[in-house]
Amino acid sequence: MSLAIIAALTPDNWDIELLDENFDRFQYKVADLVGLTALTSQVTRAYEIAQIYKKKNIPTVIGGIHASVMPQEAKKFANTVVIGEAESVWKDVITDFENNRLKEIYNGNLQPMVNSPQPRIDLYNPGYAFGSVQTTRGCPMSCDFCSVHTFNGKQYRPREVVDVVDEFEKIPQDKVYFVDDNFIGYSKKSTERVKDICKEIIRRGIKKDWFCAASMNIADHDEVLQLAAEAGCRMIFLGIESELIDQLESANKKMNIKIGIDNFSKVYDKIHKYGIAVLGAFIYGLDTDTPETIENRTKYIIDSDIDAMQATILTPLPGTPLFDRMLAEGRLIYNDFPKDWSRYDFVEVVFNPKLMSAEVLTSSIDKAWKMLYDNKRLKRKFINALKSTRNPVSASWSYNSNLHYHNIVFEKQSNKINFEDT
């Protein structure tokens, strides 16, 4: 969404073209100013593109979560780095460019979201199956592996309900993802806000199906779930991470600890009660993991009432306490940066685990993925989802998500480089 937000912040007298490599391979085009954004695993590619323009003396500006936490690295490839959220500084970037005085670094601060412009959704490639809307930024939690609190801050910053629903209504797709890290938040006020968004969608009679990510405490709020289902919610992403309390503690996953592992199944049941599917996200490779715990986690995911199964590899992203610790401990296997950032994509082991070798972790995860994403298993999960949610849309979304994960992990495996080759 970031480039569409940048486009919305850009003065009207500018012509803007958005190139999205999810769809179109980059082809050189002349421009006055080139803006780039990238997550960590994409940044090597963004730097390649920045270099092409830099060589032709066309100024480049890079921002986004990776460049914000690695500005000195990003500066080597782009003329300008915008650190943090762009809303507070983008107008200065444009004015400085127009006056030929572009700086190397701009520091964006965290502003309330109430005045945020609506992203230029007209610029998105029409091929996206899902539209996307962001209703809040920031997270008061500080999970060890997560960079959200570093980048978007610890304060939960909501947008105006009317603005959110206006944008939701304008989206051309009939399927939408609320991209917030936590749609429900942790306060009474944030719970009321979700209810207001759902009520407004219902009041306007907008017929779209959607999914969101939320913390497990969403199950404490029947009224939220009921309104969400009525407003079109078909699936909720839960960051469960692990079924072991010591691992949740070391990952600082406070909400899940508070809910209690023994109550996790009640959370899934409650969400199902309202016809909504559960997308459970888990991590393989936590510090106390062994081949046995990975096998047990896999069995837990299979046996529990989770419909869509995301099981990715612990990945130390820059900007997280996890990255700092692994770097200090000399545990990063791939540390020839920026070249190696492309490996930090959640489906490759990039560090030395504590209780086994990287090779053993890799083979344990390969085995786990074969169990999880076996075609027969996915069909059984679909039937279970249909029974639990009694909603064919929710069940088919969970099935499609599983197929998507199946494709990601097996595509990656077929391209995998052996440790001996590196």
* Interface residues toward ligand SF4, by CB under 6 A: 139, 141-143, 146, 148-149, 181-182, 239
- Closer Cβ to ligand SF4, 114 or 257, answer by number: 257
65: closest CA among 74, 54, 56, 55? 74
- As measured in angstroms, the least distance from the Cβ of 172 to ligand SF4 is 28
Distance (Å) of CA 405 to CA 218, 372, 402: 24, 10, 5
- Closer Cβ to ligand SF4, 151 or 399, answer by number: 151
- Closer Cβ to ligand SF4, 155 or 335, answer by number: 155
- Closer Cβ to ligand SF4, 150 or 364, answer by number: 150
- Closer Cβ to ligand SF4, 9 or 139, answer by number: 139
Quote the tokens at residue 383: 């039937």
What's the half-sphere exposure (Cβ side, CA atoms, 13 Å) at 25? 0
- As measured in angstroms, the least distance from the Cβ of 188 to ligand SF4 is 18
- As measured in angstroms, the least distance from the Cβ of 386 to ligand SF4 is 29
Strand order across the beta sheet in which 233-241 lies: 131-133, 175-178, 209-214, 233-241, 277-284, 308-313
- As measured in angstroms, the least distance from the Cβ of 135 to ligand SF4 is 14
Tell me if 68 sits within 8 A of 151, measured CB to CB.
yes
SS (H, E, C) 57-109: CCCEEEECHHHHHCHHHHHCCCCEEEECCCCCCHHHHHHHHHCCCCCCEEECC
Quote the tokens at residue 6: 């940048």
Residue type, 217: N
Query: Alpha-carbon distance 168 to 24, whole Å?
Result: 26
- Closer Cβ to ligand SF4, 200 or 243, answer by number: 243
- As measured in angstroms, the least distance from the Cβ of 144 to ligand SF4 is 9
- Closer Cβ to ligand SF4, 120 or 193, answer by number: 193
- As measured in angstroms, the least distance from the Cβ of 149 to ligand SF4 is 5
| Residue 129 phi, psi dihedral angles, 5° rounding | -70, -35
- As measured in angstroms, the least distance from the Cβ of 101 to ligand SF4 is 37
DSSP-assigned letters across all residues of 310-343: EEEE----TTSHHHHHHHHTT-BS---TTGGGGG
